[in-house]
A and B are shown apart, each in its own frame.
Chain A
């Protein structure tokens, strides 16, 4: 595995808040929000990580960025562990308003990383800021404005400009358009695509919005309660989803098809068996093997693999 960014058997553990009594009784109080995930991101691609709440999609990005500690495995950039002080990894957050310091002007917010990473000094600071603003489609008049004076789309552009200030190689975008008005989403999505080309960026885009993922991403990875269930080229996965969960997820796009109101609960990280397949409770094709061990990945097409016993294990 050697992409630009590699997730190698990453494990991130969360402690569930439980009282002392249940701990004494031996109830598990921690669970793996990211459970042995290996994924490779190729240079210049836009990889989508798709999942619902609790899937671990945001956690794995934060782990890469050092905002969560990694309990097992490693995240490497070009084979070496990435350091935050490098500025090589950056992030754009879901709520653009809270991702900017309310007391800093846009210019200040952008100047800080520029200065910190030595990309601009006192002499050329103003030009550097203006150049970044221009890259994201904001005019110079935004320099001295405060976050509360900007609209959602403008804020997200400013946040992207700030992220670009450290010359990152990989940009993580966590639901970057979910809080924006629909009429503004297209602007930001197009912008991200353009920046990928103009700034030689690799983008990891986390979302639960299947349409957005299809438009933006070259490859897609489906996560469910900490496990990676399927990944592959976007077109292939959408056209022919292999994992039953992916099928159910993509099925929501089809308005003719009625949803199956399953009475069975989703996976409970604290009580259900973690060795079994995560999707066991809801899977219509569950077999005996599924209850014993979570399946390994098996290839189902070029670059397309899934962790499901329904498919033959190939010798890849």
Chain B
């Protein structure tokens, strides 16, 4: 029985700069079901981080956010006041950042962080013993070998991997319904990265929390997510169930990414290149933003392209989508 936990409709995010307004994310609509993981894939300039921060209202002051609706558990949270939203954030909605070091107060112990969060969410009178007991439980669930000891340590005394585990534990401690993880493994060494990914996998199976997992790595997204959104230059270019998207990507950009990932996993002499690079500066409104790099470009692409449903796949922003064998990428 899938229940829609989060529904975002027509989200647009822009920054007010000295010279002009810069739109960094436009027309973003998606939903996340309870207990599911949505992979959000994009490179620099895609708008992936901005979109997720927008949902959690973590954007800087000069950002403007417009949306038709952002519904969480059925309620439109885009119209909540700051105070009301603050009650949601940290308890129901949580975020895990790329660099765990920045998420901890360097002069306080891990235990202090748990106590602070515990008191915040359960009231100042909550019994300390209970908080600490639960903290140890959640740390153990996050595969920390000696939770008692970990609580006494300071952030700088821990390795990157351990600290990321503590952060995940701290986030899970509040039992949020939706967790946004922004490239949580990018800075970690190979072995640790794998362990953290396995931890995420375990959490998704054992709790019914939903995740939005932001990454630039196709392989990770494939491993961990149920459905995927691919963003490019501030727009969603393809979205749909993971398996279908990875097996037969419809948008040329997605195809390029998947192809590169597959080629690197296999054995080839030369990699297929996606030509060019994302431009810096304002993106054109009235044409496909991927056009300068697209091998399938034609003049018909020079107008605003909408997302259309493609049978068996999801939504794709390309006029060529759903047109047959050209889109097959061997797994």
- Which interface residue of A183, A185, A248, A255 has the most chain B CB atoms within 10 A? A183
Residues A259 and B198 in contact, CB atoms below 8 Å apart: yes
- The answer to whether the Cβ of B298 comes within 8 Å of any Cβ in the partner chain is no
How far, in whole Å, are A235 and B159 apart by their CA atoms in the complex? 32
Specify which chain A residues have a CB less than 8 angstroms from the CB of B216 in the assembled complex.
181-182
Residue numbers in A under 8 Å from B189 (CB-CB): 52-53, 208
A260 to B, closest residue via Cβ? B195
Number of interface residues of A (CB under 8 A): 34
A:195-228 near B, CB below 8 Å: 208, 210-212, 214-215
Interface centre among A182, A185, A253, A258 (most CB of B within 10 A): A182
CA distance A235 to B267 in the complex (A): 9
**Contact bitstring B251-268, A, C-beta under 8 A = 1, else 0:** 001001100110111011
Cα–Cα, bound, A193→B260 (Å): 16
Quick one: given A152-B277, A185-B260, A193-B270, are A252 and B44 in contact (CB under 8 Å)? no
Q: Which residues of A contact B86 (CB under 8 A)?
A: none
Interface contact A252-B194, CB-CB below 8 Å: yes
Main secondary structure of the interface of A (DSSP, over half): helix
A153, B218: Cα distance in complex, Å: 20
Whole-angstrom distance between the Cβ of B31 and the nearest chain A Cβ: 26
Contact call B264/A211, Cβ cutoff below 8 A = yes
B223 close to A255 (CB less than 8 A): yes
Q: Which of B271-306 contact A (CB under 8 A)?
A: 271-275, 277-280, 293
> Are B264 and A214 in touch, CB under 8 angstroms?
yes
Give every chain A residue within 8 A of B43 (Cβ-Cβ).
Answer: 181-183
Complex Cα gap A73–B264 (Å): 36
Closest to A250 in B: B190
Question: Is A187 an interface residue, CB under 8 A from the partner?
Answer: yes
Among A185, A186, A212, A248, the one with the most B-chain Cβ atoms within 10 Å of its Cβ is A186
The chain B residue with its CB closest to the CB of A148 is B280
Chain A residues whose C-beta falls within 8 Å of the C-beta of B223 in the assembled complex: 255
Residues of chain A lying within 8 A (CB to CB) of residue B275: 187
A183 and B257 form a contact (CB under 8 A) = yes
Cα of A205 to Cα of B205 in the assembled complex, Å: 39
Q: For B191, what are the chain A residues with a Cβ–Cβ distance below 8 Å? A: 52, 248-249, 252, 259
Residues of B bordering A, CB below 8 Å: 43-44, 143, 145, 159, 189-191, 193-195, 198, 216-219, 223, 253, 256-257, 260-261, 263-265, 267-268, 270-275, 277-280, 293
| Given A152-B277, A181-B216, A190-B273: 7 more A-B contacts, CB < 8 Å | A181-B44, A182-B218, A211-B265, A215-B268, A248-B191, A249-B191, A252-B190
**Subset of 25 A-B contacts with CB under 8 Å:** A52-B189, A52-B190, A151-B278, A151-B280, A181-B278, A182-B216, A182-B217, A182-B257, A182-B260, A182-B261, A184-B274, A186-B263, A186-B272, A186-B273, A190-B271, A193-B270, A214-B267, A235-B267, A249-B190, A251-B194, A252-B190, A252-B194, A255-B219, A258-B198, A261-B143
